[in-house]
Structure 1
Amino acid sequence: EYYATPTYWPDFDKEELYRALLEYSRRERRFGLVKA
Structure 2
Amino acid sequence: MLINYILLIICVLVGVAFITLLERKILGYIQIRKGP
Q: Shorter-normalised TM-score: what interval?
A: 0.3 to 0.5
Q: Quick check: which one's strand share is greater?
A: 1
Q: Quick check: which one's helix share is greater?
A: 2
Give TM-score, length-normalised by structure 1. 0.44
Give TM-score, length-normalised by structure 2. 0.44
| Structure whose CA Rg is larger | 2
